[in-house]
Structure 1
Amino acid sequence: MDLLDTWRSRPAAQQPEWPDPAQVHAVAAELAKLPPLVFAGECDLLRGQLAAVARGEAFVLQGGDCAETFSGATADDVRNKLKTLLQMSVVLTYAASVPVVKIGRMAGQFAKPRSKSVEVRDGVELPAYRGDMVNGFGFTAEERAPDPGRLLRAYHAAAVTLNLCRAFTQGGYADLRQVHAWNQDFVANSPAGRRYERLAGEIDRALAFMNAAGADPEEFHRVDIYSSHEALLLDYERALTRIDSRSGLPYDVSAHFLWIGERTRQLDGAHVEFMRHIRNPIGVKLGPTTTAEDALALIDALDPQREPGRLTFVIRMGAKLVRDNLPPLVEKVTASGAQVAWICDPMHGNTFEAESGYKTRRFDDVVDEVAGFFDVHRALGTHPGGVHLEFTGDDVTECVGGGHEIVEDDLHQRYETACDPRLNRGQALDLAFMVAEMYRTTK
């Protein structure tokens, strides 16, 4: 059996119950003929940058939608998410004086693991919504039926998103001289926007000085933003895995960076088996039940050569548990000699249901988990390597707190997520300033 197919003999969690396996096979065969969405050389560049993170020389900012939708693959939606990512990156780079590796949670995050396989409303039971790659959000039998044809729609939506990202980031929109332009629609009515505008003024003066001194680096005019998503649907990921003509090695060309979720990181499972054979830089989400032995076993399985930049651990323990549960993991992994990058996902461990029935997160809990993550690394003398966030460029009301003090009674006003609650743009910028301050205090 081809090593890229050994996962088929392992238990595969969180896969849809496709009604017609023959149709899945036909769709996978069609996907296998389509052009790559990313290139192996780009994955190698990212692996090199993540190696710098593992050495303590850079910081990861990874973020975007909880669950992308096909309808969201528009110029406006992509630009707004990029604008937020760029603004956060500028805050971290300038205020924390650290190189920032920018990874979008976009161009592939169309599938979601679910805690329950069905959803019940008013006595009606239907399959749970598993993301646009699997089924529709509408609560009807037709919408919720898993449809393999959506795998092809996901590919094309990802291609559109990546094309827009490349156009914006390489075509002048990401030029550092645009720092004020990114904020024009935001500064007047947002505390975070006004704080950002003051920082943008400082950047302007620094750029003017460098220009007068004859320095005008190419990095000021364009940026590299990498794509990422959870490698959840293995038929899709396998169909988009290709052999690199330069090296003869396999790369999953659906994204630059892929991660295994908390619900699918079983050592004997299909996801770990598939991911250990591809050459992309990869991540694993580690929740509050993870032991140091679990972490070491995952390193042995996924990074046996102990290659810096290959493996990232994404911590998602919750504000109440991170200070107690994270230290033994970091201590034992560090003692083993493995060079992993540690980044913090402060979103998924802090979700709760408001009295109104909306799923939400408290901004203060998000901040507290990040602070706990930094506290642990500061105490152990290790490197807090980054943050992994769910945010949107829109003025939604999905998480409570932040500069505008959104309260639970506000959630209904603009609750637009297809799955989990996201930080809005103001909350994301607030957090970026706080993270920059935390990072400075660790150095």
Structure 2
Amino acid sequence: MTLRYVRSGAGGAATGVDWANAYLTLAAALTASAAGDTIYVSEDHAETQATAMTLTSPGSAASPVQVICVNHSGSVPPVSADLRTTATVSTTGASLIRFTGADTVTEYEGIAFSAGSGSSVANLHLSDNSSRATLKFKNCALKLNTTSTSVNINCGFNNQNGVFIVLENTTMQFGSTSQGCVIAATVFWRDTASALAGATFPSTLFKGLASGNGSLDLSGVDLSALAGTIFGAVSSETGQRYVMRDCKINASATISATPTARGSSFVDYIRADSGGTNYKQGRYRYEGSTVQETTIVRTGGATDGTTPLSWKIVTTANSSRHFPYESAVIAIWNDTTGASVTATIEGIWGGGAVPNNDDIWIAVEYLGSSSSPQSSFARTSPADTLAAGGAIASSTATWGGSTTAFKMAATFTPQQKGWIFVIVKAAKASSTFYIDPKITLS
């Protein structure tokens, strides 16, 4: 492993062996490096070029390359007290920044990367055209310094495979409301306060590709500056998966656009809010959506310990008996074995009469074998594809709104102790159901 140094203000031989002879550009240091090398970038490094910048790393899974911003006046080699976040690497005009290197592993820390200027088309590509690249940005800033409406921060690209990107305490900045972050890789964004810098914010933050797919897992990220749509829906995109957990959002933000096809995008969020609540969760699918409800709730039903809760399920015109909307899992621990158990879920709607069991039903997953953990299923839907639906049982439960209460009960015999999982499936198109996400076992 070799230590290399980068400082734009160095006046020596530019061999990278020490601060006096530091490389003048990050690209030069990466070109000279080998797997396992560490590149130290000075805190006053301010690198700018008017041509496209390609940063090609030689790091490997066994020997990553680390690129770290430090105080050049501190210890040699640098220590923890020398860490800084002030180095800048930028391009101007229509000059993009591209991180690349097939099968490479690289970590960048404490550096602001800024692409373009004026109204020029200059994208910021994280792992552009590089299969199986791994990139980590820690305490960094990713900026589009152009007002062009045709550029994005691109996490991956449509002809890549296995690209993995981690953003840790790393911010994004945009120059136009038409810009955004394209998710075409496996991306994790973690632990970032004020994650969106600057004064201009996208109307849609995260986007997919019509010819690609990707996944994004957000945790502990503050997106409260964004009043637009967090997760977009691109026509013909495939398999986009978004999870937002324990994040701060703007009260005016739209969490997700409606997915454009059954296999296009999947959005789930858990404990995401603009205020001090800790119970808001939901999901968006082509067939419908779930959001948290605190008014139309069942007396004695689900609660977070303070606030009574229910799930408001709204189906789209795309939901059907054969391809229904499916809720998130509701779970309860079961200690009964070898004897029948009944799991009941309560609901209410405004349909005038109780719904049929081909309009809405539950699927219960349990441990039905004593010899393996392979799950067994019990359903309250019609017995088979050709069987007619019948009315669901009415309920005497008290709710805080809507009109017609009902209950769905499935009976089965567990053979092992363990979790019982219930999924609510809503098939009646363009309908609204309120479900109490609390299982009653009897």
Same fold (TM over 0.5): no
The higher relative CO (CA closer than 8 Å, separation ≥ 6) is in: 1
- 1 or 2, which has the higher helix percentage? 1
TM-score, L = length of structure 1: 0.25
Tell me which structure has the larger Cα radius of gyration: 2
